[in-house]
Amino acid sequence: MSIRTSTFSHSESFKQIPPTIIVIFGASGDLTARKLAPAIFNLSKDELLPSECFLIGYGRKKISDSQFRDYLKMSLDAHSRRDIRPETWSRLVQNISFHAGEYDDLESFKNLSSKITEIEKTLSKEVQCLFYVSTPPGVFKPILENLGASGLAKRHRRKEIESKVIIEKPFGRDLMSAKELNNIVNHRFEETQVFRIDHYLGKETVQSLLVQRFANSIFEPIWNRNYVSCVQITVSENLGVGSRGGYYDRSGALRDMMQNHVMQLLALTAMEPPSSLNPEAIRNEKVKALQAIKPLVLGGKSSEIVRGVYTQGLVEDEKAKGYLQEVGIPSNSTTETFAALCLQIENWRWKGVPFYLRSGKRLARKASEIIVQFKRPPEILFGLDSKYSLSPNLLVIRIQPNEGITLYLNSKSPGLETRLQPIELAFGYETTFGSNTPEAYERLILDSLNGDGTLFIRGDEAETSWGILSPVLDYWDGLGVLGLEKYASGTWGPLEADKLLLARGHEWLTGKKYQ
């Protein structure tokens, strides 16, 4: 492998990152093509990577360095948010190589270790390694075990250059498997070396949530049970399972989206103010918020859970097939494509405030947002007469698409008669800052290289989240098809999800006229 030391330069505005080797396991996969390669390229373009940085792809398929480089170049041309110029690529390409090996073969990992050592000898200095586990979850365990057994996990003990590992979702399938995976991780790595990734936490709006809450004095005094009526978190997709039918049928909406993305948004919304911006201080408060959640009521008239499966319908005026007609889905499948929950947080701040969560496929549109619905003012002035049409105040935090924040207030409409109508105070990231904002993976890869775990999931956090949801999965497994509600593609889910809120005096707001 040809080694050059001028591939990347460094921006003084960020922490000095030591010489680095990034190893991507599953390097020929879709995630590498769509997200990881573009993220690494854009970080280098912004001069945020060290001057001595190398990328090694690891995969089962035997391909040459030049073939891997061509694959990455095509990926960048197709998916990078910025164009790559020939002169830039000619500098990058020299430090890219491929290493073929099985994930359960210790000898292949030892050969990888030798390859890394050769780079260090050429540079005459020690390097930090970032191992990105971007593979199907079935091979997480052998990869982590072999990183430990080969010595790659703890190549250097100095914190500045210790090895780091990013683990993609899903982190386990239930509480038991998450604990088992954590045991392997903790046996081979220190927690400070481990970065369990959820790309939602890298999105600008999610990062901004802490700023909105704790850097603006108008929000914190009313961010509690005294003023908040309910909180709604929706992560919806208008697409079906596509070519992922085999994977999705083993997963379902609760595992695929609810346990990670949605629960992370809940934790950030509900957490107490951290004592500092130290990563552990923030993650401590997220865990505390999750630990305060009451066990869900699983059955009966007071049930706090709903599941559903999409059937044929219209999505954006195009006919969509039902889940059981999708490729790779067995005709007797009982997998849910929609899940809705009502969670209660038993602490001083949130006692009595329901947190409604929902996620599903083939819904009316793609949306990821948090809606804080505030209590109505006393019905003394404008609440007694129906002509005033007093609407609740809402804070809508849009994560995608059209990232931004909107505050809905009541105002008098022009005219001689006093009539009220909701108005918007809106902020959009693209409108304010431009459209070429960094992708989530850029921020998360950079943070991991810097050893900053703020936007990553800690081991106990993953287990706490699974502890809330694993009983739901067990309950549904026992029911089979019973209680699996149907909903037409292009709608907002089954009627039972609406009833879940109506029984508690609320209604789903995403997709309503206020938008």
Q: Give SS3 for 253.
A: helix
Exposed e or buried b for every residue in 81-111, given b needs 16+ CB within 10 A?
eeebeeeebeebbebbbbbebebeeeebbbe
Provide the 10 A C-beta neighbour count for residue 453: 22
Identify which of 506, 496, 509, 507 has the alpha carbon closest to the alpha carbon of residue 303.
496
Cα–Cα distance measured from residue 487 to residue 509, given in angstroms and rounded to the nearest whole number = 18
199 is catalytic: no
Cα–Cα distance measured from residue 490 to residue 484, given in angstroms and rounded to the nearest whole number = 18
| Side chain identity, residue 211 | V
- Residue 403: exposed, middle, or buried by beta-carbon count in 10 A (0-12, 13-18, 19+)? buried
What is the three-state SS of 89-136? Answer: HHHHHHHEEEEECCCCCHHHHHHHHHHHHHHHHHHCCCCEEEEEECCC
Cα–Cα distance measured from residue 138 to residue 375, given in angstroms and rounded to the nearest whole number = 46
Rounded (10°) CA dihedral 322, 327, 328, 329: 10
Cα–Cα distance measured from residue 383 to residue 285, given in angstroms and rounded to the nearest whole number = 38
Two structure tokens written together for 177: 């498997």
Ramachandran angles phi, psi of 358, nearest 5°:
-150, 150
Given the residues 10, 156, 199, 261, the one annotated as active site:
261
Which residues have C-beta within 8 Å of that of residue 500, sequence separation ≥ 6?
Answer: 303, 304, 306, 340, 342, 356
403 to each of 107, 391, 400, how far by Cα in Å? 46, 24, 5
Active site residues: 261
